Structure formats: C-alpha cells, structure tokens
Chain A
C-alpha cells in the first residue's frame, strides 16, 4: 500500500527580550544556575506577573510577517500541572484567545518550488526551568534561570507531507524570526524547539490517521530523523495488523528512535482557565499599524526581489535569502562590486565552501562582505584573472592583507594585458619549443586547436598566472599560424 505522511509542527521560539515575559529578571543564556530567577520567577507566595510589552510587540511582528490575523483581544490562561521546574504549578499561556490568529508560511522545497503551510495560530507563554538529572547523586537539580523566558508557540495546520517539508517549514520559521530579530534562533541553546505531530494514512484517504506527538525535537536534522523513524514505525505497525495509539513520544537522537512517554489515558488534564492576575491584552489598530510599518523586508519578499530585480535564479535567490546574515552579506558584496550574479557566485561558491570547511557561520567570516565585493570588482575590471582572484581570496581569508588591492599589489597578481609584454613571452616560449612548434606546423589545421593548449600553459607559467588568458590565446594563434 502507498502511505501518505501527515505532519503538523508546534514550534517554540524563545523571544529575544532582555527581560522575562512576566518579570524583570534577565533572559541571558548560560548564567550560573538560579542566578537569573527573581521572586516572580521562583513563584514565591504573593508575587504577581506583569506582562513584558516587548514580548507582545515581537509576537505581533511575527503575526504580521506571516500575514496572520491579529485579534484585538488576547487572553492569558493558566495551564495547571505539577513539575519541579514549573515553580507556580501552572504555566501562563494562551489557550482560548491567542495573540496571533491564522496565517501562512511559504516554504521552499529542494527543487526550488514553493508551498504554503497554514499556521493555525501562535500564542505567547512562559518557558519552564530546567531539571538537571546528572551530578546530583540520584536527586534532581532545578535551574530556574530559563523559567519565565518568553516563548512564542507557533502551531501549524497538518499541511506538511514529508520530513523534508517539515524541515523546510522549520527553516522558514527560523528565517522569519531571525529576520525580524525577535529570536536569536540558536537551536543548540534551545532558542527554537519543536513538537512534531505525525500520522500516516493510505494515499487517497481523506481522514487523518491516529497521530503521535514527538516532544522536544531541537534541530533541523533531528526533525527529519525523528519523522523518518516515526513514519516507518507507524507504517510497520499498521501493516503488521496493529494500531497506532495516540500518545506522546520522545526522540532519542543517540539511538535514532522515538519512545513512548505517555498515552492519551495518562495525559494531564491541564484545567485551563483565564489567569486572574493578568488583564486581557488589547491591541489597538494604531499600535499594530505602527509595528507593520516598521517590519523589515522578510525572506519571501527578499527572495522575490533577488529574482526579479537582480535577475538571480530561483535557486540562488532562495539560498541567499535563507538567513538575514547571508542576505545582508550578499547584498553588501553586490553593492560594492556592482554585479549581482558575480556576487551570488562568489558567496555561494568560494565563500560558502571555505565557511563550510571550517564550520563557521557567515557572521564570523574572516573575509568581510566589503573585502569580497572589492575582490570581485577587480575581476570585473580585469585587474586580475579568475585564477589570481582565488589566490587573493585565500590570502584575505588568511588575513594576509587588508584589501584585495593590497594583496594584488604585494603579490604582483595584477593581470598583464600589455600586448607587447605578452608577445615577448610568446616569442620566448616559441623559441624554446622547436619540437612542439614543428608538430604544430605538421598537424592538420583542425587538430591545431587542441595543440595550442601546451603553448598557453607555458606562457601562463612564464607570467606566473598574471597574463590575460584570452589575449594569450589570441596572440599565440596568430603567431603560430604565421609560422605555418
């Protein structure tokens, strides 16, 4: 039987506010345990939450970016359950009236085609602390630094049909939130985490199959792997005559499998009710309009502009707009050199290759966008040839010069375009290669084209790579043919 996979994602994005969603404590990552948890975060008796306006603004910006409806009123609810890293015994979240309504996110697939994924809603909530099970001799340590960090939970419709689509969706969300600057998007530090709802159904069937929810998958790669495993598990189960049960599962990246955490019967009744300590959030139109007018250019818009205005291919436009850092780097290099296609080739070719080799993010590139742009400009204006350009790039990467011009100067890489100089090098090569000249002369005219390569190589070698290859070709042909 042919099976179709149905996936919905709940993506939790930590918002990049300076302080927590309901308290003034810092949200910085990596501090000593429990040093960034104030009385409110600790849930001390008598404390009260006060909503951080910055978190509201960020949530609304996200909503606007995905063309979602922004309801005038949203309400915080309490989600009640006991856990040691949940200090109040409830998580303040938004169950019934989320801050962001239905919207959609465009994803780009490997073949360059795009697909729209519907977002059901996005809501604000507070993060919990962390339970630390190691190093406490059989006991559990609790670090509440993270407790109260603002989260935007983005809930998709079950529109994703493969692990690849799920990963592409996650990347699209990542790209939007980092473009907006509302999250650092650092998945290793947990700034983006995701719960994956997976089910399978026979191709052509309309009704959804029973879904399993895989909790806390926190990398693009793990999302693909967790889904791949889960789909295989469910299909095998059904084909062996079994039934998928609705349950929560955990992905174990070390063993590359998902394991049951709790079934529906064991599920908590969270007893949601409106939080009486917080007033409903009322957003007036002027506030929303103000945020809308200050939105930066978003990935989809940028991609379209790269294609339409800069004439890049869909593939290039999509890659170069994937992150704001990449797009900004590309645009600066393009502005300096004045040629979008050359800039695109260099950023995706030489630069990306070097970054990948050393596992560096583009923000940490040793070659700046300006340096790269200047280098490309020297290729365009024929100051250097392509081969020399690669040498210059390597030198810039190694920090051997402040600019392409410095390196070209210091290493004498300036392209030789003076015909007289090239001619004298050609004459010398011809004089030193009587055997090859004789062979050339004796060959049939249509074979001579291939034979000229030897002479070009010798001339380029003599010029230490700086001779203009087109000129060398042209002049060599003239001189050799004259000898025939």
Chain B
C-alpha cells in the first residue's frame, strides 16, 4: 500500500481493496518502525488518525466519499491543528497545543483526509536542511547520511520513505521545492495568495505559501484543488475561482514554449545536476515543446533581497513569542525584561536568533531605507524579470537546487546554506508558482527539475509536470530504505 500514489490509493479504497482504517494502520505501523531512523515526525496522532479513518470508511459506506476521503497525509508542524501540539520545530512552542485549525487543515479535514501527524521542520521554517529543528535533524531516506532539505524536510522524507503518501509543506524561499528535489518527490509552491495562510505560523508573511508534497503531479493537483481558494480570514488570499486541476493534466505539450534562464545554469551548478536537468528538458522537446534561453538579469540580487525582507518580517512576526501568553517561559523571571530576555534566549535556536537580529537591524531607524526599502525595489525588478520572460515563453525550467542533497553537518556556514536556495528564492519574491519534479539521480541522491509559471498558472505547471511523469518514471522510484524495511 505504501508505494502507491494518492490517486492509486483512492482507486483502491473505492474498489474496496482495503479500508482507510487498514491503510492508516499500515502506515502508522511503518511510522512506528521506521521513523526512529528518519525522525520525520514530531507528533504522530495515532488515535485521531484512526478515528478520522473510521469516519471516512463510514462516509464511503454511505456513498458520501469525495476524491480525498480516507486518504492519509501528514502536516508540516507549522500548520495550527486543533488539540494537537503545533511546535513549528521550536522549543519555544514545545508546549503549544493549538486551540484552532489552520484554514488548510480545516479544508483537508472537510475533504475527508486522515492526518497521521505533524512533520519535522527547520525551526520556524528557517533553514534549507532541516538541521535547525529543536527536535533534531531529519535523515534523507535515499541516504541516511544526507539531509532531506528544508524547511519542509520532515514532510519530504516521510513521503519519500512511504510513511505517508502525501504531506503539506510551506515554501517561503524554496522550503517545498528544495526538499522535494532532495527526496525525489513532487512539490508545488502555489502562487502567493492561492492558498490561505490563516493558521500557518508566519515566518515571512509576504512570501509564505502552503502547498502539497506527494509522489506525482497528479496527486499534487488533487490536493491543491482541496486547499486553494478564497478565505475571508486572510486578506492576502485572492478571491479567484479554483480550476479543476486534475482535468487539465492530460493536455498535450505540443507547442509548449520553455525558457531556460541562463542565470540558472551558471557558476555553482553541480555538473551532474546540470546533466540530469538538461536530459529532463530533452524529454520535453521529445513531447513537442520548444526550448530557448532567456535571461532573468536580477537573479543574483534575489538572495540578498530575500535576506533583508524575510528576516525583517520574521523579526516582527516572532515578537509575539514573549513568554507572556503561550509558549516557552523562563523559570522565575525577576522582572518583565528578564522574562522577555530569558524566555526568548532559551526558546529560540541560533538560526532564528540570527534572523531576528538581522531583521531588527535592517528595520532600525537610519537603516530602513538602505536595506528594507532598497530590497523592496529589487523585489519589483525581480518580479518584472519573470513577467518579461513570460511574455516570451510559457514556462521556465531549471534545477531546483545547485546540488543534490548534501551530507548532514556539511554546511556549517550560514551564508553557504543560504546559497542553497539560489534557484528557488526569486520565485517567492515574485509571488509566482513553481513545482519541483523528480528528474534523475546523482549517485543515490535525487535531482529535482523546477518548472515555473506566471501567477495563477498552477494548472499549466501541473499539466507540464504530469506529462513529464507520463514519459518518465523518476517519480516512481522508491528508496531502498522504504522497501528493505517494508
């Protein structure tokens, strides 16, 4: 059961091959046996999962099953989940049990999905390796000595290892696409405003976006249809119709115009990753697409601009963690300042503190214009680069990451870690959607192909990715870890 895609599992449930309870029990058993080595879950909600599975089975018996009814999945521990610990990977929220559901969680619940639990992540979604978690690093199921990527590393590893067929992630600078690439799965970051952010613990509000992580584009289409759409509780969530993403998957790619940004194939790109990427692009040519080189001239400003804007927003978003109402509070504070200082010093990890400091500095009087304002101007230029490119081509393609998954502990320097996101980060600044699909291997470690489209073209991206997956089987490969321990 655990090597099937969501769509296959839905068919099997419909056919009565097994029940949601049996499927859920099977996966919970795998989590129990295998996750000790992976550490992909922070919280496993055994009882709630079985109860939800029983409800789903009952609904199916009455003929009330929707396309997602009874399908198990996992939630990155950044989604507030009623009655369940929601830690955001931080000691600060180790004791926080959310009293409400995020919009995404509500919608997935309403669709009849069965959540198995909350997945590990870099603390407050700040990181590219999942090594910044208070709950310890996650191991990549393709190679346990490698990182799974971050910040949605737990979600990516859990799906790749067959602990769960799909998981929800969030992507602020690449946090869905890069771990999807590292773990050989499919991960979609929707257009900013496509999915409600209500109930997602904010890292950088103008960049954060939730999206599905699964084996196939077809699965992602199914999940995106369930979570997308207007939400009155999020002013930045756009009131715009949600297409049936699954219906548009089958369109042929004849005449598709693909642009390859020259900046995404330059210095710093691992030659083996480049080779896999170019081979994947050749597949599209064989499917009738044309390829041309394009330029995104402000690409090299994306990381500096991001590391001004994201920490600035984070420094403010994380101010609410002050030890007063919820979350970690230091023992025996002598006064208010002591309460603030020690609660925050003890509750936050190093990377979070680093970004709060950067953000606090860049917003300070006398620095605001030079940093924050300038970064916003750069952001507009980066967005314009993409809009210009999409005048010429339908989609952009390139590697999701300059290298395959690196070894745990290999990237000690924060700046070299930040450079991991060089191909993903500009996408968040521009607000456009992007998807990473499995496109080969370097040794045992997967390579991801990133496909980008203009705002609200998720249906097109999923279609393009799906057609690629009809022609290749990279997304069907499973790590030995998942099989040997079956």
Contact partners of A78 in chain B: CB under 8 A: 316
CB <8 Å contact, A45 and B80: yes
Contact partners of A45 in chain B: CB under 8 A: 80, 86, 88, 93, 96, 98, 201-202, 320-321, 326
Contact partners of B360 in chain A: CB under 8 A: 271
Of A82-90, A336-344, A471-479, the segment with at least 4 beta carbons within 8 Å of chain B is A82-90
From 214 to 260 in chain B, residues with beta carbon under 8 angstroms from any chain A beta carbon are 232-236
Contact partners of B236 in chain A: CB under 8 A: 48, 276-277, 279
Contact partners of B99 in chain A: CB under 8 A: 39, 44
Question: How many Å lie between the Cα of A272 and that of B366 in the bound state?
Answer: 12
Q: What's the least CB distance linking B146 to chain A, in Å?
A: 31
Knowing A89-B319, A277-B235, A278-B235, the reply to whether A84 touches B198 (Cβ < 8 A) is no
Chain B CB within 8 A of A269 CB? yes
Question: How many Å lie between the Cα of A269 and that of B199 in the bound state?
Answer: 29
Q: What's the least CB distance linking A34 to chain B, in Å?
A: 10
Contact partners of A51 in chain B: CB under 8 A: 235
Chain B CB within 8 A of A46 CB? yes
Knowing A46-B102, A48-B198, the reply to whether A279 touches B235 (Cβ < 8 A) is yes
Knowing A45-B88, A47-B199, the reply to whether A273 touches B372 (Cβ < 8 A) is yes
Question: How many Å lie between the Cα of A82 and that of B336 in the bound state?
Answer: 10
Question: How many Å lie between the Cα of A273 and that of B199 in the bound state?
Answer: 22
Q: Which of B88, B100, B206 sits near A39, CB closer than 8 Å?
A: B100
Q: What's the least CB distance linking A46 to chain B, in Å?
A: 4
Question: How many Å lie between the Cα of A51 and that of B235 in the bound state?
Answer: 8
Q: Which of B80, B326, B368 sits near A273, CB closer than 8 Å?
A: B368
Contact partners of A39 in chain B: CB under 8 A: 99-100
CB <8 Å contact, A43 and B200: no
From 340 to 369 in chain B, residues with beta carbon under 8 angstroms from any chain A beta carbon are 340, 360, 363-365, 368
Q: Which of A44, A48, A269 sits near B197, CB closer than 8 Å?
A: A48
Contact partners of B365 in chain A: CB under 8 A: 269, 271
- Total count of chain B residues near the partner, CB < 8 A: 44
Residue among A78, A87, A277 having the largest count of chain B Cβ atoms under 10 Å: A277
CB <8 Å contact, B205 and A276: yes
Chain A CB within 8 A of B303 CB? no
Chain B CB within 8 A of A182 CB? no
Chain B CB within 8 A of A142 CB? yes
From 191 to 210 in chain B, residues with beta carbon under 8 angstroms from any chain A beta carbon are 197-202, 204-206
Q: What's the least CB distance linking B195 to chain A, in Å?
A: 13
Instruction: Sort chain A's interface into a size bin.
Output: 20 to 34
Main DSSP-derived SS at the A contact region: loop
Q: What's the least CB distance linking B309 to chain A, in Å?
A: 9
Nearest B residue to A39 by beta-carbon distance? B100
Chain A CB within 8 A of B324 CB? yes
Chain B CB within 8 A of A49 CB? yes
Nearest B residue to A42 by beta-carbon distance? B325
Nearest A residue to B205 by beta-carbon distance? A276
Chain B CB within 8 A of A132 CB? no
Knowing A45-B98, A273-B372, the reply to whether A82 touches B201 (Cβ < 8 A) is no
Q: Which of A48, A84, A269, A273 sits near B324, CB closer than 8 Å?
A: A84
Contact partners of B88 in chain A: CB under 8 A: 45
Knowing A46-B198, A277-B205, the reply to whether A84 touches B235 (Cβ < 8 A) is no
Chain B CB within 8 A of A50 CB? yes
Q: What 1/0 flags go to A58-82 for Cβ under 8 Å of B?
A: 0000000000000000000010101
Nearest A residue to B326 by beta-carbon distance? A44
Chain A CB within 8 A of B322 CB? yes
Knowing A46-B102, A279-B236, the reply to whether A84 touches B336 (Cβ < 8 A) is yes
Residue among A48, A90, A140 having the largest count of chain B Cβ atoms under 10 Å: A48
Q: Which of A273, A276, A279 sits near B363, CB closer than 8 Å?
A: A273
Q: What's the least CB distance linking A149 to chain B, in Å?
A: 18
Q: What 1/0 flags go to A262-296 for Cβ under 8 Å of B?
A: 00000001011100111100000000000000000
Nearest A residue to B80 by beta-carbon distance? A46
Q: What's the least CB distance linking A95 to chain B, in Å?
A: 11
Sort A-B residue pairs by CB-CB distance and give the 8 closest, nearest first: A89-B319, A271-B363, A276-B205, A276-B206, A46-B199, A45-B201, A46-B80, A43-B320
Cβ contacts A to B, 10 pairs, < 8 Å: A44-B98, A45-B98, A51-B235, A88-B319, A271-B360, A271-B368, A272-B368, A276-B205, A277-B236, A278-B235
Q: Which residues on A are within 8 Å of B, measured CB to CB?
A: 39, 42-51, 78, 80, 82, 84, 87-90, 140, 142, 269, 271-273, 276-279
10 additional contacts, CB 8 Å, given A45-B201, A271-B360? A42-B325, A44-B99, A45-B93, A45-B202, A46-B79, A47-B199, A82-B319, A84-B336, A273-B316, A276-B204
